[in-house]
Each structure stands twice: as structure tokens, then as C-alpha cells.
Structure 1
């Protein structure tokens, strides 16, 4: 009976369902957009959150880290890879072109750099690595020589610079054996931990060991920054969800209007039903069933449209449409549908209560 009553005025019913569809699409689409942004931020920072960078502190008497300080750091870190680094700058030339590069001297190149071609040795004792952007600019390839401080080094690997935010091998990078840079002081130390939690623990342990009363070294990690970004994106998702919910509130008002108009038009019919023995609870359930049907119809259509929008969002923002199937984004389809049905039922409560509590005699006189 509830389904038949909705079909009496198809245009009015369709418009109310359309309002629900728009509300669900707004909620789910904005939520999935936030989920896509959070996934992208996690991917970009995920490879950096497990790295601790140790640099000279404000009270360090030298302009870099000494060999004894490096040994102290290595004594503290027993479950992670410690990579001391020396730094310099130079200009390299090839084919009549020049490029300024940042020179980094390391031993364990494989711990810090991903290469697009060639190799990044576990122990870099000869040869060089160069970033792909500079290699393309100077038309350099594997086996080609680069000069630093009067010595030639053959390129053993091309560093991949397309790996996202803040990678170790950015544009303008030349990696050489640590012995190539003629200085006793190290510019910094990178510690590669198992995860962000381990990195935070290691950073704290290093500062406690080396900084007794003065800030001799500074140990920083991106794990805290990633957590702050995740917290901000979660707040943004809630804000977007709230904005989308406004559309569904407007749709609920439309459903309330439809239910009120429907009960007014059928007041005499409801009076007859009450007169022949239909109880108040049955009238109440019938009107609420009509509201639930509206919510479910609009919710299902809205979920289907939102799923298509989610595929486009993840393809555009992340580059993989199938990632929309993850719970982080699919939860907004579920929430949108539940919100649609719940809002529809709430909108139908007053019309249902009013229809159920009208006296049969008054309804038949109308």
C-alpha cells in the first residue's frame, strides 16, 4: 500500500527522491575526495616518515658532525641503518652545457636512493649517482664521466626523481663516495628506521644521548608532520561531510512536504481505514514506510552515481581508479545511504503521527 501511494503522484515523488540523490552524491563525493587527498598525502610522505635526520645543533662547537659524534649515534641506533653524509656544491659540464648540483658523499647509497637505471651500491666506493633531471639536461648516461675536484667519476646509476614529495634524490643531485669530499666533518646523518614510530623513538634516544645540557645535535623526523597532516585531513573530511549533509537536510524538508501533502490528500481514505479497524500503529507504519521507500530509492541511486564520481576522483587525484574500493572511501557511500534513509524516516515522523492520531470521524468529514 505504501508503494502504491507513492505512485499516485509520480512527479512529486520523483522530485523528492531527486533531492535525496543530490544529498547522497554531495556527502559521498566530498568524502571520497577527502579520502583521495589523504591517500595521496600518505603515499607521498610514507617513504619519508621512517627517516631521522641528525644535524649539528645550536650549541655544537663545530660546523658539522665529528667522527666521535657519528660513533655515538651509531652506538645508540642498534636496529636501523645509519648513513653519515658529507655535502658540497659544484658545477658539472657536459656537451657545452653546465648545471649546478648539490654533492652528497655517502657510503650506503642504496639506503637513501632509488635508481631508475643502473645500481645504487650498498657500499659506494667508486663511481657516482646523478639525478635523472640533470642527466637529461646534460645528456649524460650510465658510464659517462663527471668531474669533481679534479677527479673523474663514472656514472653508475640514474636517481629516480619522480617519486613524489621531498625525495632524497631531488633535482640537481650528485652522489659520490664519502671519501671524495675532502673534509673531516659530516654535514648530517640519515637514520632509516622500520617505521614512523621507530623513527620517533630513535630521534628521542639520539638527543638524550648526545644532548646532556646543550643542543649539540638536532634529530628531526617527518613522522610527527605526517600525523599532523593526517589529523588535518581527517578534520577536512568531517567538514566536507558536514557541507554535503546540508543538501540532504534540504532534501528532508522536501520529503516532509511530500508526506504532509500526501496525508492531507488521503485524509478521507485514512479515515475509512481507521473506521474499518486499522489501528493507529498500522497507519503510522504505512506512512513511515513511504518515507523509507523514498530514502532507499534516492539512497541507492545516489550511491551508484557517487561510486562513478569516486572512480573519476581517484583516477584524477591518485592515478588508480580501483583504489576507490578501499574502506577509507567506500565508507562514505555507506554513510550517505544510511544518512538518506535516516533523514527520510525523521522527515516522515510528523506526517505519520498526524495521520495516525486524526480521529476517524474528523477524517471522514474532511
Structure 2
């Protein structure tokens, strides 16, 4: 069943459809303006969602972690064993992992790479590996970042030397993971015994269940070590990425509003074009409308016919624009997130609905004045031209 057959049951809609088809070029240009406006609104909104998801993905599990290091008022050059035990006594459903760090140059097959050296026991809690394993108790092997391994041509089982000791590579660290100084890039992870010459721990990483738990732990540790009986001295510096996640979300929400505003300007421009089309159409059909009024067609019917034209124009342009925006959004999600189907999730697909609804609303709004003008024009004056 064609659109015309469907609209036959609605006289006002049928007449509106025929009127739009009289000057197809002008109608197409007005619809194109709507399409561009919808694509601008929907695709920019979806872009904001894609960027936010990418930022959240890049932070990964860091939002669930708290880092503790020596504060500016500490008497030690790091975190002591007693402080580590005190930290652990304050934790519930969380794990404290002390770390010692250094740096060195790793060489292999005539190539060199500068890496951060991290000594830990529970490597599995901090690092994700692309190959091999990250042991819960790292005692003999080593982990190295995937990018460094590729740079030096190293593979699983190859030896790596640090401070006169050889460590066989047990796993390759995912370049986007890690909470050490290398952040998973250019990092060598060895057993903490390999840095036994360092008296204190450079940092302690605490892994919690989620971002809220990490924030609560950070506040508890800060209050315990830096407030109680210390006159607000910074004995230990406590840092959490959970607050950063919240700040990023707030910034992205503001960015999305700005992007939607930019897209809305395009649709407002399109609505002005629709207003022009409707005005020109009513002027050209002034005599026809006068005849309709003379044979008994009421003002309300004329008003409904013109508004239906505008609504049809907005609906068609909105549908085409939403489909085009969906294709653009799927491409953006594929590039930024790696999953084109994420464009169909409500968090992003809702902007297709917003763009379509705004297009119909703006079109109808633009048709109100031409419709009112045509409906209130005197039939006698209209017939005279």
C-alpha cells in the first residue's frame, strides 16, 4: 500500500500530500534542511555518548582503585610496613597491594627500551595480560608491557635482566591496563623481592568493588592518617580516580548539551525554510483556497490541511534524517568504542527520537502562521487574487 493509498482515508492529509507534490524541488530542498538538522542533532548527541563510553573504557578498573603514597609531612621516604598493616586493618572487602618502583633500560637483540620497574606480589590484581598469566603470587617470573615486548622482539619465556637477576617473561601486559608508574605502557613487573634494597614502598594500591567503595576507602584513609591527631598534616597522600570519573561524566553531559545546541541551530534554520515554503505555497494557491472556502470548506479544515503539509514535511525529513544519523552514529561507535551495535542502545538511540520529534515540532510550528493566514483570508479577496 502506497503513502497516497494510506492517506486517502484522511482528506486533509491527502490534499496536503498532493500539494507537497506540486513543487517537488522546493519540497525536497525544505526536507533536505530538516534531514541535515536531524542528522546534526542526533549524530552530535550520539558522538557525545560514544566519547563518554570511550573515556570510561580507557579509565577501566582505575575507578575502583585507590593509590596511597608518602605525604609531604611524612617522616619517611615512602610507605612503611607498619603503615601497610595499618591500612589493611582499616579495609573491608578490599585488597591492599604494596609496590616498589624503579626504572631501567632493557635491551634485547641490539634494541633498547626505557621501562618503569614495578615490584609487586599480587600481579593478577593490578594487571591484565594479553598473553601468558599474571600470577597471584609473583615470585620468579616477570611481566612486561606488550608494546615494549614488540619493540624489543621479546616473547613469552624469554629472559629479562634487572639488577643482575634474570626473570623469564610470564605474561605480556595489556597496554591499557596497570596502575603502576608506567600505566601499563613501557613497564616491567617483577617480584617485590627484586627491589629488596629499597626500604620503603613507593605506593600502595587498594582495589575495591566499585567506584563508590573506592571513594569511601579514600575518605576513610585520609581521615585516619591525615586528620586524627595530626593537625591536618599530610602523612599519606591518598588518591582516587573515582572522583575523576564523576568529573568526566559531568563534563561530557555539558559537552552533549553544547553539541545538541549546535545541532538545534541547524534545525531552526531548516524550520525557517519550511516557513518560507509554506508561505509561498499558500500564496500560489490563494485562489484555490478561496474556491474551497466559497464552496463551504471551513476555516478549521484549511488550517488543518496546511498544518498537515508541514507535519508531513517534518515527518519525512525526520525519518530520513534519523536513518542517516543512525548510520553516522554506528560508524562513530565502531571507530571510538569498537562496537557499532552500541549505537542502538537507548543511551545513544534516544537522540534519534529527540531529533525526529524536534523536526516534527519545528515543522508544525513553522506552519502555524501560513496556516492561520490562509484560513483567515477572505474568500472574496482570495478569488480576486
TM-score (norm 1): 0.94
Supply the RMSD in Å over aligned alpha carbons: 2.0
| Mapped contact 1:51–1:193 kept (Cα < 8 A) | yes
2:354 maps to 335
Alignment of 1:298 onto 2:299: no
- Over 3 Å counting, the alpha-carbon distance change for 1:2 and 1:140 in structure 2 is closer
Unaligned runs of 5+ in 1: none
Secondary structure in 2 matching 1:171: coil
Query: What is the deviation of 1:187?
Result: 0.6
For 1:110-137, what per-residue CA distance to the aligned partner results, in whole angstroms no more than 9, with x for missing partners? 0001112221111112222222233333
- Report the Cα distance in structure 2 between the residues aligned to 1:359 and 1:135, rounded to whole angstroms: 84
Corresponding position of 1:102 = 116
Aligned to 2:82: 68
Aligned: 1:245 with 2:259: no
Which of 313, 317, 326 in structure 1 is aligned with 2:345? 326
Q: Contact between 2:146 and 2:172, CA under 8 Å: does it hold in 1? A: yes
Are the equivalent residues in 1 in contact too, given 2:177–2:183 (CA < 8 A)? no
- The SS at the match of 1:143 is coil
CA-CA distance at 1:99 after TM superposition: 3.3
Aligned to 2:202: 187
1:146/1:152 contact within 8 Å kept: yes
What whole-Å deviation, never above 9, does each CA across 1:141-195 have from its counterpart, x for those lacking one?
3333323333332222222225599996523312122222122211100011111
Please say which of residues 255-264 and 289-298 is displaced more in the overlay: 255-264
Q: Distance in 2 between matches of 1:344 and 1:53?
A: 54
Runs of 4+ in 1 over 6 A off after TM superposition: 164-168
Aligned to 1:270: 289
Q: Size of the alignment, in residue pairs? A: 366
Report which stretch shifted further, 57-66 or 16-25. 16-25
1:198 counterpart residue number: 213
Deviates more, 1:114-123 or 1:85-94: 85-94
CA, structure 1 residues 276+57, in 2 after alignment: closer, same or farther (shift >3 Å)?
A: same
Where does 1:137-148 land on structure 2 (aligned, <5 Å)? 137-148=151-162
| Aligned CA distance change for structure 1 residues 264 and 97 (closer, same or farther; 3 Å) | closer
Q: Deviations over 1:63-114 (max 9, x none)?
A: 1011111111101111111101111223334334443322211111100011
The answer for the alignment partner of 1:358 in structure 2 is: 377
Which sections of structure 2, spanning at least 5 residues, go unmatched?
1-14
The answer to whether 1:119 aligns with 2:133 is yes
Q: Judge conservation of contact 1:112–1:168 (CA < 8 Å) in 2.
A: no
Equivalent-residue separation in structure 1 for 2:186 and 2:286 (angstroms): 79
After the TM superposition, which residues 208-223 of structure 1 pair with which residues of structure 2 at under 5 Å, given as runs?
208-211=223-226, 212=228, 213=231, 214-223=233-242
